[in-house]
Amino acid sequence: MTRVLVIGAGPAGTRCALGVAKRLPGATVTLAGAEPALPYDRVALSRYVAGAVEQEALITHSLADLSAAGVEFRAGTPVASLDLPARRAVTASGKALDYDRCVLATGSRAVRLPLPGADLPGVVPWRDLAESRAMLRAAREGGPAVVIGGGLLGLEAAAGLAARGMKVTVLHAVGWPMERQLCTDSGALLADRLRGRGLKLLMNAKTEAIEGGDRVDAVRLADGTRIPARLVVMAVGVRPNTDLARASGLTVGRGVVVDASMRTSDPRVLAVGECAELDGRLIGLVAPALEQADFAAATLAGEAASWAPRADAAALKVSGTAVWSAGEVAPADAEAVTLRAGETYRGLWWRGSRLVGAVLYGDVAESAFFLRLIATGEAVASRAEAALGSAWVKDAA
Ligand SMILES: Cc1cc2nc3c(=O)[nH]c(=O)nc-3n(C[C@H](O)[C@H](O)[C@H](O)COP(=O)(O)OP(=O)(O)OC[C@H]3O[C@@H](n4cnc5c(N)ncnc54)[C@H](O)[C@@H]3O)c2cc1C
């Protein structure tokens, strides 16, 4: 009987374990997760912090579901080492888990900026449920919060904490928020809207230190400004969890290097999700992580599986805002077509007759249409008319 060990019970690991159990009914499938919780919806942590969902609603699979599907789940079981020739993983508590095939799904962790004071209690790099709960504890205690990072995650943290009654300042190193997903115009619209809702946004802000005694009490900027804070959330990016893979001798770049069938440099070990690196690229969204998990399960079942990235789309999950972006935003070598009507903005970037990137602000109803144009790379006869959206295309047909 084949023993398959999946390390990491985030979305990718859980999906892969379930996929393997389904495709290989005879296999023994073990899912070992470092976090003490049942598998949960990490994407929904933003809504949890904002008070829109309860903790119980985050859980995606109960123990009974997993067991009925043929997956033996071990919560609170960080794997500390991997012996590739012996095909043995050893947990932090010293328990050996022998396998025939292993899948690394160790995901990423939030970056903790190497600033003075970054380790003070009250400083939270945001990635998981425990960190979300720490943020909510601080919100209950009250006082001001500072979020370092005005990307998607930072803005979701800030809006959530504001909804919980905190006075929140967002510090962003660039001139407009979400600069990876938005152009300057749509970024300025979003910044205005968030400011109008009571968030303080400081752009081009250079954080120099975090101050405090036995707990954080302020953030100091390079220009000397001191912003009081009882909670500091770091949302400045993530780093793949590769320590385990690296120490075992697997090939690791920024992530665990895999081929398109999700195999690592050891053919018995696969890697999926945010910890995996294919052709020098990492992923940072849940949809491709789940796809990779399906491809890895297919590979383990002996099917020919070859994953290739598709166009990424991202949306901001802050109630009262509608912001969506896909593909390449404002690349230097593309031509822009922009439409603006009041609080609604549409930015589209074209190379010749092909759409390569899009930003929708205020009205995101056409997101599926533009994502399809980007993903398929289909040529469009009239860029100006296509910019009007699917209704025009239907009328013209
Ligand atoms: C607040 C928030 C909001 C987000 N919103 C969106 C969104 O709107 N859309 C979107 O597409 N993406 C979003 N993301 C990103 C999305 O959550 C990730 O892309 C997705 O979780 C990646 O899944 P993964 O399984 O690869 O990694 P992870 O979710 O990071 O899971 C990895 C798991 O492995 C565990 N682990 C690590 N090392 C070990 C070890 N040695 N032994 C055992 N277990 C280990 C970790 O504890 C973790 O539980 C959001 C992320 C956050 C934090």
Distance 110 CA to ligand 1 centre (A): 10
SS3 218: strand
Q: Could you tell me whether strands 3-7 and 28-32 are parallel, antiparallel, or unpaired per DSSP bridges?
A: parallel
Evaluate whether residue 312 is within a structural domain: no
Evaluate whether residue 116 is within a structural domain: no
HEC-encoded secondary structure of 103-172:
EECCCEEECCCCCCCCCCCCEEECCCHHHHHHHHHHHHHCCEEEEECCCHHHHHHHHHHHHCCCEEEEEC
Pocket test for ligand 1, best of 31, 38, 40, 42 (most atoms within 8 A of CB): 42
pLDDT at position 268: 98
Evaluate whether residue 314 is within a structural domain: no
In whole angstroms, how far apart are CA 48 and each of 157, 274, 315, 365? 10, 22, 17, 25
Q: What's the rounded Cα separation, in Å, for the pair 267 and 210?
A: 45
Ligand 1 binding pocket, CB closer than 6 Å:
7-13, 32-35, 42-43, 45-46, 78-79, 105-108, 127, 153, 241, 244, 273-274, 284-287, 289, 317
Question: Max CA-CA distance within the chain?
Answer: 67
Nearest CA to ligand 1 atom 45: 8
Nearest CA to ligand 1 atom 5: 43
Q: How many domains does the chain have?
A: 3
Nearest CA to ligand 1 atom 28: 107
Question: Which ligand 1 atom sits nearest the alpha carbon of residue 77?
Answer: 43
Nearest CA to ligand 1 atom 3: 43
105 in the same domain as 23:
yes
Distance 3 CA to ligand 1 centre (A): 24
pLDDT at position 261: 98
- Give the residues of the chain that fall short of pLDDT 70: 392-397
pLDDT at position 305: 87
Question: Which ligand 1 atom sits nearest the alpha carbon of residue 45?
Answer: 1
pLDDT at position 396: 45
Distance 92 CA to ligand 1 centre (A): 20
Distance 284 CA to ligand 1 centre (A): 9
Pocket test for ligand 1, best of 286, 290, 317 (most atoms within 8 A of CB): 286
CATH of the domain at 346: 3.30.390.30
105 in the same domain as 146:
no
Of the candidates 214, 234, 254, which is a domain's last residue?
A: 234
Evaluate whether residue 308 is within a structural domain: no
102 in the same domain as 243:
yes
165 in the same domain as 27:
no
Distance 126 CA to ligand 1 centre (A): 11
pLDDT at position 397: 43
219 in the same domain as 171:
yes
Of the candidates 178, 202, 234, which is a domain's last residue?
A: 234
Evaluate whether residue 141 is within a structural domain: yes
333 in the same domain as 285:
no
Q: What's the rounded Cα separation, in Å, for the pair 197 and 204?
A: 21
224 in the same domain as 186:
yes
53 in the same domain as 134:
no
CATH of the domain at 100: 3.50.50.60
277 in the same domain as 132:
no
Distance 352 CA to ligand 1 centre (A): 37
Evaluate whether residue 115 is within a structural domain: no
Evaluate whether residue 252 is within a structural domain: yes
389 in the same domain as 329:
yes
SS3 49: helix
Distance 346 CA to ligand 1 centre (A): 30
Of the candidates 210, 234, 258, which is a domain's last residue?
A: 234
- Say which residues have a Cβ less than 8 Å from residue 295's Cβ, sequence separation at least 6: 260, 261, 262, 272, 305, 306, 307
Nearest CA to ligand 1 atom 15: 285
Q: Which domain holds residue 296?
A: 3-109+238-300
Q: Do 183 and 160 meet the contact criterion of CB atoms below 8 Å apart?
A: no
Evaluate whether residue 168 is within a structural domain: yes
Distance 345 CA to ligand 1 centre (A): 31
277 in the same domain as 208:
no
Pocket test for ligand 1, best of 14, 35, 95, 106 (most atoms within 8 A of CB): 106
Q: What's the rounded Cα separation, in Å, for the pair 205 and 370?
A: 33
Nearest CA to ligand 1 atom 30: 107
202 in the same domain as 155:
yes
